[in-house]
Structure 1
């Protein structure tokens, strides 16, 4: 029986007993991990001198490489143990640490001699009942490294987390790895079967094989029986007897200086000296991320468990992506993944992926050796749910209504309780691992894991409590999104858009319920109207229209109200951008305009007028567009620059297509230069257009027509840049459509036409903007024609033009009919070409769409020349008429285009020397763009005629 020398250091009520390896405060033991105690011993024996990090590493971890983070963990554990006296341990910047104060050391005495009776000798082998692993522990290496550090700094580490997260397997593996390091006995104590909390001490005593006698086996009796023994206790499943388990472990820590405890529980023990480690889910790849079983532990586990049942399972990349989707839906929870893998081995991956909404029926059949509550997903959650008091059960179920997480205000709104009661209940549910903190200190937010949410929704059912919860939720979001429904608060709402974005999934859930058969249609209509500008602000115009359409069918008492007006406006704009200028969109908007007039709402009168103007302009009904522009002018204040620039834009665009190029150009240039940009964000919602971008884009028609080619190219670039700044897809599509389909094609810059046209097609496809998709397709066909691939050109142009007709998006209709005629001409299909030009000409004259007439006449002359069925005089007349029409419009560029065709025709017929007299007067009016292909051809013809 050996003797151990005992040294005692004391200061200000603290005692550091090196013999018993115990830190005491006023005589009471304070729990501290073994390595943390070693650090404290080194600092105490340094007599107030600083000890460097390197010296600490050398003396506490001899022969091992230790990261700085490991030392920090242990220093934090010591400071936590010192409590209010934490400042006794000082960090010396750049040097190390020191323990301040006069720590007096007592010499050894007879009273300070203790024996090693009851402690295992170095030769004895540790005893352990920790079960051997049933399978490989996947994806937990980093967690194990962290826990090994924590158990050397704290005497009790509690693994917390929801059911099925893998606490038991992780704690068991941790115990097995600690066994050789601690050199102590290790006992696994399972509390899951206990029903009476008072039996916790008896269960611990039996697991440790203490052989206690007597009727009263208390926590203190058990602790004193363990005494000085070196013991590692793994105490599993504490949550259902949490108070008794906490008292047992706290007593052991006070009385037994050489015991380390690893506990598992769905909530922390909340005792002194505890470190609560929340077990994380396994790593799951983000949606769209390249999936790798080696890099993502959730995928690794799924594959490993499937192979255990299906030895030849070898997933390809497509199967790995499906597995990733499954694991994401299951929140990376190991139990759920294991159950899914077991089913996948028999039913197949696609069956599992397609039936996760029925996960509680599907995910059963765990290992027969597992605990009953680990054999099905439902049983695992039943265990946690049944431990909750009724008030927390109710709140958990009501919070499941929020698929996108929730704020405290939202929780209070559905709970039916006050702030204090709801806050306390949320805190309790977080501590019990049923709710996860999902925000920040500045924006606190919580959520339920998806599996917990699905379970809780099932418990909520579809009865009165569900309807009451959803009604409260809808009313909460009606109030939250109210700033989007008033012009005076709209700007602030847009500035704070990130705050509202977080609620997208919740808003959808509230709208879906309210507008369903069992919901409240009037409330849903109010919510859809209130949030309509929000959807547009985040570039989801089509979704605004979808909710508006559903709400209009459920108006109830709101028929004829402002709510109906707002919903009609939202639906009308959405139909314009997603389906084009169909009659239904116009009907919806006219109804909105009548309501705006009846309700005397100037804001919505302007909004709807702009929508109807947009409808008319895009469907090439220019007289109607001017009428609506004048309607807008009738409502404006002449002193308001914002409204004046908007009116100038509205008038300038139809004038552009009527070929009033100089007047229209002046209006659009003035609107773009003077529009107050501080109104941009609001106008993007009110008018669903950007005045600057639209003015610049459409003005390119006037600039090119007048021969200002360099200005046109610069304006196109500027329009695209302005559009990008709005971050609105439909605005960018406007700029790209005019830049690619008109500017770049007209000046024969095929490289830029290709780049802009491809971006236009991507944006249109991505955001469901059908009219612009038609333009992108037509641009591709026009480029193919110019690259001598007329067959592809005809195919793409026909498809694009057909889509334009279906969408009644006709601004570009005559332009691309001319392009189609040119492609058909290249294939020798001259009759078809003439037919398309006939359509273009009749359309342009019928709609007052004069700006394309010179080009249509010129192209007709080109086709007739190849057909060789008309007299030269008839063909010349077409070219001459095209030149005269262009001159009347002051369209210098189209005048020169027709003149070049005339001279080439005459030259082919043998006429010489006329190029200078015809072309020079026109050519000399150009002040820029002299290096463009058309002007270079004109100059070459002029020079050739002088030779």
Structure 2
């Protein structure tokens, strides 16, 4: 670099004093760390030239390997020190850094400064002083944190470690100081302020710890700073929060007067002085779930195991214990102090006892080390320390905020505090700075939360009497307003599109509902909130929860009885019962009452909703005439209305017609409904109608398509219905599509691989979301496939279980179909009489319900069982097959006609009556235009060609 000046560099009001190693702005010292100063010095001396990263490393960290991140930390520190002139320091991408401006040098010339000597280790004979405490045990899980803070200390003069009580600030500060000791080349002192009750004693405590021998009646911060002077020193000042103003004044005086002193402070509240870098000590890493696969990789679990082994040397956690440990660490928010308490108790009480009693954590988690400070010997004492330091207004706010289990926004906090927004915002800010409230981010607006342990403590302080009741009432009223868009038809679609905003409040609104719908709550308010949120629960696929809250609310409805609130609750409960329990008498009663109220209020929206629900109830319980009556009633109301209403009417009429075997007209209606039902507001319409019209129309129309011989089209339509259903992200909609694709199309066309794939997904999905009727269908698919795979006994068990669940749920759309499957499984085991009885059950059910489309297949299956007995009347068997063909022909069901024809030809062939295949099968076969690779058409072709 040639010759440089060991004097003063000036530019734009800035001064860099190399002799005093001081950066000044308009004459006032600006705090900056020693290595950050050396970087700035190197850049200024380079007179605007680019200095590479490698050059900076050799100059500032001679002999050491330094990561790029370390350079970035120090560059950020320099820019922070330069403030509004931060742009003087430029990053030259891929090349290095340069300093801008015309820096004038004043001073005596000198030869080029030699690089700073390598850092030397502190020898045992060194004259430097330290009282940094020795390590009592290994510091678990803090390697990354230590590295980060070490970087910060070399970049900033003052680093404050903040965080809630028990997070490990003191232990971390001591460990960092021990890391610095070998290379410090100066004194290192640990100054403990915890025992001070008088803030005025802060300077005196520092003077005594540093052995400054100050005289006089009053020892001030400035006097201590002058006494330290030019000594090189690291000060660890611990527990500043209860004397925060005095501690801040002391540190500020030292930084201003003592250019060779760096300060590492610990405090639950920031010092808020110039040049301070606040480092929030993070909790230890906790597993996101109780999955033990990677539990040992998380530092919180490592600490728990280490501390338990210190008391039980042979402790070796099993998979079950690891799962419990993961849960304990997660509930304790990864706070080291709480985890150490839990580990100590686990050593004597057992892990499962601790995991099961965390709700009583403040009684349970005691017994810290005897050498620990009193406030660190129980979890409650640790929090008492922070709580007692708060002014009463902040204590009250903290208690109020504890009612939010899922965090809160400013609006929500204002609502429960009862104070003005400005006062509440200031209070939250203060609680954040004191490490009692955590800022969660501002992706969709600022949000905060309390650590679970802090929340439990604050709830305990809130109590359960008048103040708690008042706060919970405010919370419930707030969410009644917040979720109102879900109860207003004109705003419903917009609310659905912003569902993430509402989803974040799930646990909060649950807390409000639990309180309101309890003996000590406000039942009327709770009923209103349950009604307001009913569509929200369905929108996020929690149909059963919508029903649970509606049921509870109807018990507490009080003066809201007979109101629109009751109408909405009845509608929500009715839909939930249909999808989760089936077609019960209770469900029909609830919906009938809802329809009566909707008519009283002349509410067209809810008349539509409840009419659709009653239609759904009737259709699924196979009361087809009732379903058609509801559909025709809706059709009359929908005439002349919008496309959505007309498409809905076509869907409602088309489905009962399908099962009454009016395949042509039903198919046309369902195709029209699927094609014309609008995409706009689709999710809103799902909530209103209890189904997705497009998906349902496609799925049900597969019955018409298969019956009419459009086999390839039926397969594509089933696949389309599944794709459409997935787009809705609604479990009950997907179950509808999977049920028809697996239970009807794939089994009817003997496509066992596709039936297995769809059937397994149906079972998993229905079980996961508590959709019992669809789970019954999945069981029956499993039984049918087992029977067809040569395991009819397994098939019989699964089919009986599924059919039993269908009967209990009164979900009967597939009932005759699977009775036939059960009969075939019994035939395969030689239980012919039992099989025939199940066929009779299917026949009488279909006849009584007007379920005509299955009759041809029922007759064919009966003939197959009788033919297999070998002792049956051949005329009766042939007659059954012919009846099946005639009825299928009358319905336009050529697929069932060819199936019965195959059975007839094979029976005749088996009885020596040859030559009839072409005459029987060919006229039917020639009506097909697709699906020739299907099992039944392939068989028909073989029979025609082989016997013609």
In the superposition, the TM-score normalised over structure 2's length comes to: 0.97
8 Å Cα contact 2:517/2:526 also seen in 1:
yes
**Deviations 1:663-703 (CA, angstroms, capped at 9, x unpaired):** 11111111111111214211110011011111111111111
- Pairwise CA distance, 1:109: 11
- Pairwise CA distance, 1:32: 1.3
8 Å Cα contact 2:292/2:322 also seen in 1:
no
Q: How does 1:345-360 map to 2 (within 5 A)?
A: 345-360=347-362
Alpha-carbon distance between aligned partners in 1 of 2:739 and 2:867, rounded to the nearest angstrom:
32
In the alignment, what sits opposite 1:201? 203
8 Å Cα contact 2:885/2:901 also seen in 1:
yes
Alpha-carbon distance between aligned partners in 2 of 1:583 and 1:293, rounded to the nearest angstrom:
48
8 Å Cα contact 1:785/1:793 also seen in 2:
yes
Secondary structure in 1 matching 2:47: coil
8 Å Cα contact 1:35/1:60 also seen in 2:
yes
8 Å Cα contact 2:742/2:758 also seen in 1:
yes
- Pairwise CA distance, 1:100: 3.0
- Pairwise CA distance, 1:289: 4.7
Alpha-carbon distance between aligned partners in 2 of 1:716 and 1:659, rounded to the nearest angstrom:
19
- Pairwise CA distance, 1:41: 1.6
- Pairwise CA distance, 1:317: 2.4
Alpha-carbon distance between aligned partners in 2 of 1:819 and 1:88, rounded to the nearest angstrom:
82
In the alignment, what sits opposite 2:114? none
User: Which stretch of the first structure deviates more once superposed, 203-212 or 386-395?
Assistant: 203-212
Alpha-carbon distance between aligned partners in 1 of 2:813 and 2:303, rounded to the nearest angstrom:
57
8 Å Cα contact 1:642/1:679 also seen in 2:
no
Alpha-carbon distance between aligned partners in 1 of 2:748 and 2:86, rounded to the nearest angstrom:
77
In the alignment, what sits opposite 2:318? 316
Secondary structure in 1 matching 2:218: coil
In the alignment, what sits opposite 2:66? 66
Secondary structure in 2 matching 1:678: coil
In the alignment, what sits opposite 2:442? 440
8 Å Cα contact 1:224/1:255 also seen in 2:
yes
**Deviations 1:445-473 (CA, angstroms, capped at 9, x unpaired):** 00000110010011010111111111111
Alpha-carbon distance between aligned partners in 2 of 1:441 and 1:521, rounded to the nearest angstrom:
35
**Deviations 1:164-218 (CA, angstroms, capped at 9, x unpaired):** 0000000000111111222111110000010000000000111111122221111
8 Å Cα contact 1:884/1:895 also seen in 2:
yes
- Pairwise CA distance, 1:92: 3.5
- Pairwise CA distance, 1:288: 5.2
In the alignment, what sits opposite 1:272? 274
- Pairwise CA distance, 1:882: 1.2
- Pairwise CA distance, 1:19: 2.1
**Deviations 1:709-763 (CA, angstroms, capped at 9, x unpaired):** 1111111111111111111110010011011011000110000000000000010
In the alignment, what sits opposite 2:88? 88
User: Which stretch of the first structure deviates more once superposed, 317-326 or 93-102?
Assistant: 93-102
Alpha-carbon distance between aligned partners in 2 of 1:800 and 1:737, rounded to the nearest angstrom:
13
Work out whether 1:431 is the aligned partner of 2:458.
Answer: no
Q: How does 1:309-708 map to 2 (within 5 A)?
A: 309-440=311-442, 442-708=444-710
Secondary structure in 2 matching 1:217: coil
In the alignment, what sits opposite 1:736? 738
**Deviations 1:100-129 (CA, angstroms, capped at 9, x unpaired):** 33433333499xxxxxxxxx9997332111
Work out whether 1:785 is the aligned partner of 2:784.
Answer: no
- Pairwise CA distance, 1:64: 1.6
Alpha-carbon distance between aligned partners in 2 of 1:291 and 1:322, rounded to the nearest angstrom:
13
- Pairwise CA distance, 1:10: 3.0
- Pairwise CA distance, 1:938: 1.1
Q: 2:877 aligns with which of 869, 875, 891?
A: 875
Gaps of 5+ in 1: 111-119
Secondary structure in 2 matching 1:29: strand
In the alignment, what sits opposite 2:129? 127
In the alignment, what sits opposite 2:936? 934
In the alignment, what sits opposite 1:861? 863
In the alignment, what sits opposite 1:103? 103
Q: How does 1:23-172 map to 2 (within 5 A)?
A: 23-108=23-108, 124-172=126-174
Count of aligned positions? 933
Query: Aligned pair in 2 of structure 1 residues 865, 244: CA closer, same or farther (>3 Å)?
Result: same
Alpha-carbon distance between aligned partners in 1 of 2:780 and 2:521, rounded to the nearest angstrom:
45
Q: 1:218 aligns with which of 217, 220, 235?
A: 220
Secondary structure in 2 matching 1:509: helix
Query: Aligned pair in 2 of structure 1 residues 781, 387: CA closer, same or farther (>3 Å)?
Result: same
Alpha-carbon distance between aligned partners in 1 of 2:122 and 2:699, rounded to the nearest angstrom:
89
Alpha-carbon distance between aligned partners in 2 of 1:389 and 1:894, rounded to the nearest angstrom:
82
- Pairwise CA distance, 1:441: 5.4
Alpha-carbon distance between aligned partners in 2 of 1:902 and 1:871, rounded to the nearest angstrom:
14
8 Å Cα contact 1:515/1:524 also seen in 2:
yes
Alpha-carbon distance between aligned partners in 1 of 2:199 and 2:833, rounded to the nearest angstrom:
95
8 Å Cα contact 2:295/2:326 also seen in 1:
no
Across the aligned residues of Structure 1 and Structure 2, the Cα RMSD in angstroms comes to 1.6
Alpha-carbon distance between aligned partners in 2 of 1:373 and 1:275, rounded to the nearest angstrom:
27
In the alignment, what sits opposite 1:113? none
- Pairwise CA distance, 1:487: 0.9
- Pairwise CA distance, 1:48: 3.2
- Pairwise CA distance, 1:66: 1.7
Alpha-carbon distance between aligned partners in 1 of 2:838 and 2:381, rounded to the nearest angstrom:
70
In the alignment, what sits opposite 2:851? 849
Alpha-carbon distance between aligned partners in 2 of 1:98 and 1:933, rounded to the nearest angstrom:
78
Work out whether 1:295 is the aligned partner of 2:297.
Answer: yes
8 Å Cα contact 1:285/1:291 also seen in 2:
no
Secondary structure in 2 matching 1:266: coil
**Deviations 1:913-934 (CA, angstroms, capped at 9, x unpaired):** 1111111111111111111111
Structure 1: 4+ residue segments shifted above 6 A? 120-123
User: Which stretch of the first structure deviates more once superposed, 931-940 or 814-823?
Assistant: 931-940
Alpha-carbon distance between aligned partners in 2 of 1:555 and 1:407, rounded to the nearest angstrom:
30
8 Å Cα contact 2:88/2:99 also seen in 1:
yes
Query: Aligned pair in 2 of structure 1 residues 733, 294: CA closer, same or farther (>3 Å)?
Result: closer
- Pairwise CA distance, 1:6: 5.8
Q: How does 1:750-769 map to 2 (within 5 A)?
A: 750-769=752-771
Alpha-carbon distance between aligned partners in 2 of 1:703 and 1:25, rounded to the nearest angstrom:
84
Gaps of 5+ in 2: 111-120
